[in-house]
Amino acid sequence: MLGMSACLELNPEYVDRSATEGASDDAADESASNGEDESSGGEACVPDDLEPNDDYGDASDTVELGNNLSGTIDSDADVDWFKGPADTGDGGELLVRTSGPTLRACIYIACNETEEPATIEKCTGVLDTDDFGNPGCCGPRLASIEYTCAVGTLVIYHARVDNPAASECTPYDVELGVL
């Protein structure tokens, strides 16, 4: 992964909030020691502006690549989905990068105007498939995928952010980009 960082086009507006997570963890520990939680009047996890985007069909629509978004994972069962056009011709390389040390990032490719699935040339994490059999890649905090589709095909990406280790509210930032 060290060699890959040299070719990433980093978005200067990307904010990695993982450095401030310790402060929220301390506040959560203090709240727990005081017996406060959501049911007893403690601070509740506030849904982000993109909800509902908890499943593939409810993905936040038409998120252009190159954007940064903020979201919240409120439990280990919460998943946030994003989708949009991947206007990269017949192939390209896309990434999804999140803040937070325990978040998992996934990106999937759909070649919408053909029966043929995308061909995955490279994956920085673990190969995966989405709910509709489209190929993708998942990794801790970062996943990138190099793919090809038939020439002239409309390409749609879906990105997923989750936190299998979440036991409390986890705010995050996500960057969706082209390499």
Give the angle 127-102-11 at the CA atoms, nearest 5°: 75
How far is Cα of residue 104 from the mean position of the Cα atoms in its chain? 7
Would 102 be classed as within a structural domain? yes
Residue 25 located in a structural domain: no
24 lies in a domain?
no
Report the CATH number that the domain containing residue 157 is assigned in CATH: 2.60.120.380
The pTM assigned to this predicted structure is: 0.74
Residue 147 within any structural domain of the chain:
yes
Q: How far apart are CA 143 and CA 107, in angstroms?
A: 7
Decide if 48 is inside a domain.
Answer: no
Give the Cβ contact number of residue 95 at 10 Å. Answer: 23
pLDDT in tens, the chain (179 residues): 333 333 334 444 544 444 444 444 443 343 333 333 433 334 578 878 777 878 787 787 767 888 888 889 988 888 999 988 886 567 889 999 999 888 999 999 988 777 788 899 999 999 999 988 999 999 999 999 999 987 777 888 999 999 988 778 888 999 998 88
- Look-up: residue for tokens 């986890």? 170
Tell me how far apart the alpha carbons of residues 73 and 172 are, in angstroms, rounded to a whole number. Answer: 8
Total domains in the fold of the chain: 1
Q: Which domain holds residue 117?
A: 54-178
